[in-house]
Amino acid sequence: MSIIRVLADHVANQIAAGEVVERPASVAKELVENSIDAGATRISIEIEGGGRRLLKISDDGTGMIRDDAILAFERHATSKIRNSDDLAAIGTLGFRGEALASIASVAKVELVTSLEGSGTGTRVTIEGGRMRNVKDAAHPRGTTIIVRDLFFNVPARRKFLRSEATETFHLTNLVTHYALAQPEIAFTLVNNGREVVRAVAAKDLRERAYQIFGSEFLENLLEVNGGHPQLARVSGFVSAPRDRRTTRDSQYLFVNRRFVRDRMINRALSEGYRSILPYGVYPAALLFIESPLEEVDVNVHPAKTEVRFRRQAAVADAVREAVRAALASAGYARPDERPVQPVEELSQSVAAGSTHQVEYRVPSAPAELNVPATAPAKGEIESNPVQPRIDFVPPTLPKDDWPPVSSPIEATGDEIAHDIEEMFRATQAERELRSESYLGEPAAARATLPPLNSAQKIAREVTAESLGSNIRPLGQLEESFIIATDDEGLLLIDQHVAHERVLFDKYRALEAERRTESQQLLVPETFDLTPAQAVVFDALAPELEHYGFELMKLSGRTVAIKSTPADLPASEARNMLAELLDTVDPEKKNSARDTLRDEIAASLACHAAIKVNMPLAPEKMRWLIDRLLQTSSPTTCPHGRPVILRLKMRDILKGFHRI
Ligand code: ADP
Ligand code: MG
């Protein structure tokens, strides 16, 4: 007797549902996509009990006639494609004809719909895949779908659902994403009777992002606008380097307005931040890629959350370049990748350092800074004049030239509002201080209390293009920060991170040219690896050798350091290696070799750079500033921290009540 049978439709649907319907948010995703495909201008979502008890989605889209409303629940029933040729260029979010059938097989569903001009609407009731009822029902043009008791007939699935709070979080996230992807559609989300998202129709992403996140969020983002129309237009927002995450959770990617996950794009995004953010630290991003339909295959994943590009590598390049350009126009990087300083010049300074062999290793005085105290330092500056200011001005629009945005983000108005708000906060802060600890103080002391947030607001990070060549060091603060002036005001330069940036660029350039230099240790240093470090060591050793390390594995897990890269004090070599071996993920070695090399250069730079609490002679400060200005990114260190803060003349004058 034959033992193979064709499964009943409702069983097949439940199997398909296993892939499509993972949790309430996946139901919402399919239904919202259907509403968008139906041309809705308004979509409202209501949820109860984390979407498990109730999920209700209404739209004002085209609606359906009675026959279609019934057919819609059949498996492989769709109005969006007709034949396999259509699969080559899918312009709708849905196309598989599976969602409604899958959802209806694992929940109690009611659909009410009405097509304009077709008389009364229709109500279809279906439970666990079984049609219960079809009758006339009034409904304005559009469709409402109510999904109750999700997984009521699949106890195994129910068990996998998380707490109401978690499921609500996923639902809110989902609605937020679609609202961002479709600014011109009005969205509302009501959770247990309380409205949590309300976004009226907006004119563009910027306005929508403002509606959803508020102005503070936008202030901290850089606008991306690049790519190639025939291949991939890339737009959206990315975070400034100081805003750092340890996961990719804050990266939202959309391809042709479809919310997707894509490791290739994630990687390209990180590449855009190369040498600005360290390895293992991720930016936040809201990236939209628009590609011609035939360039993208969306039929990759049952839940349609993955896509495949015909020209993967070119799309990755477009993303990387667009992100890089955004960082450059905000002054965090130069748009091009080439090393800025000619290598000849760099190796000169290394050679100069390596004449000191032994003294050189005194940790408090790295060789690079041991420039002669007299004329040569100045000579060096003159022979390597700082590149003209124009060089730091990226070819793209500066931030201030962003296209104007409709209120309430109008630049000038906002600035005034901001000032007023700051004044208010200051007085508020003063009041609080007075009522707490300053009650008994004399009136004069009270009057001079600065606003609590003044330091953060007044000394600001600088952009690369605002840096001219006429920076004059005046001295040091706490032997850690260089105090300097320029045309725009007073500068504070963090000496450690400034030197870190200089060394990073140097190591990177020398490595790229295979011209790193090393210094032999008189007595090799040995150190023992942990088992985990030993695994990483084998993968990392060749890369380390590119940078001038000479390493030898002795018996077992003992390693001898025979030579170290120029400038790295011997006492730091072990620390640096241990730190790298603990943080680098060897698995990623091949896929992101450049990132790994950046990571090594950043670590080297950090350990070789002058420390804080170190006195610097005026010539050394001068030298450091001049070198810093020649780097690829003088305003951020390789770990993303700011290098320079500026107190603007205007703020100084304001502070003294002179304006
Ligand atoms: P798909 O979206 O892949 O076509 P679905 O199962 O999600 O498959 O939907 C089946 C069909 O039902 C759609 O092709 C569409 O014609 C119709 N439909 C579903 N939801 C709506 C809606 N909100 N408004 C109008 N038509 C809808
Ligand atoms: Mg669909």
The share of the chain scoring above pLDDT 90, in percent, equals: 35
| pLDDT reading at 298 higher than 80 | yes
Mean pLDDT of all residues belonging to the chain: 78
Lowest-pLDDT range of 64-73, 193-202, 594-603: 594-603
Ligand 2 centroid distance, CA of 158 (Å): 23
Ligand 1 centroid distance, CA of 58 (Å): 13
Coil/strand/helix, residue 229: coil
Tokens of 20: 């499509």
Give the number of the ligand closest to the Cα of residue 122. 1
Give the number of the ligand closest to the Cα of residue 58. 1
| pLDDT reading at 395 higher than 60 | no
If one counts every other C-beta atom within 10 angstroms of the C-beta of residue 561, the result is: 20
Lowest-pLDDT range of 267-271, 350-354, 472-476, 531-535: 350-354
Q: Find the mean pLDDT for residues 612-638.
A: 91
Top mutation candidate among 33, 34, 298, 301 for ligand 1, by most atoms within 8 Å of CB: 34
b/e burial code for range 149-161 (CB count within 10 A of at least 16 → b):
bbbebbeebeeeb
Task: Identify the residue whose C-alpha is closest to ligand 1 atom 2.
Answer: 94
Identity of the amino acid at 548: G
Top mutation candidate among 78, 103, 112 for ligand 1, by most atoms within 8 Å of CB: 78
Instruction: Report whether 532 contacts 568 (CB < 8 A).
Output: no
Residue ranges around ligand 1 (CB below 6 Å): 30, 34-35, 38, 59, 61-64, 72, 77-80, 94-101, 143
DSSP state, 392?
G
The whole-number pLDDT of residue 425 equals 41
Tokens of 27: 């139901």
Q: Find the mean pLDDT for residues 607-620.
A: 90
The whole-number pLDDT of residue 353 equals 37
DSSP-derived pairing of the beta strands 308-309 and 130-137? unpaired
Ligand 1 atom at minimal distance to the Cα of residue 78? 14
Ligand 1 centroid distance, CA of 256 (Å): 19
Task: Identify the residue whose C-alpha is closest to ligand 1 atom 27.
Answer: 34
Lowest-pLDDT range of 14-28, 64-78, 174-188: 14-28
Identity of the amino acid at 562: K
Ligand 1 atom at minimal distance to the Cα of residue 102? 6
Task: Identify the residue whose C-alpha is closest to ligand 1 atom 12.
Answer: 72
Which residues lie across from 251 on neighbouring strands? Answer: 285
| pLDDT reading at 447 higher than 50 | no
Instruction: Report whether 517 contacts 548 (CB < 8 A).
Output: yes
Q: Find the mean pLDDT for residues 194-206.
A: 91
pTM comes to 0.59
**Range among 372-376, 394-398, 493-497, 598-602 rated most confident:** 493-497
- Structure confidence at residue 293 as a pLDDT band (50, 70, 90): very high
- Structure confidence at residue 495 as a pLDDT band (50, 70, 90): very high
Ligand 2 centroid distance, CA of 508 (Å): 50
Select from 432, 439, 436 the least CA-distant residue to 453.
432
pLDDT in tens, 622-631: 999 999 999 9
Rg (CA), the chain: 31
Ligand 2 centroid distance, CA of 9 (Å): 19
Ligand 2 centroid distance, CA of 325 (Å): 37
Helix residue ranges, H only, 185-247: 205-213, 215-219
| pLDDT reading at 349 higher than 80 | no
- Structure confidence at residue 586 as a pLDDT band (50, 70, 90): low
Ligand 1 centroid distance, CA of 78 (Å): 6
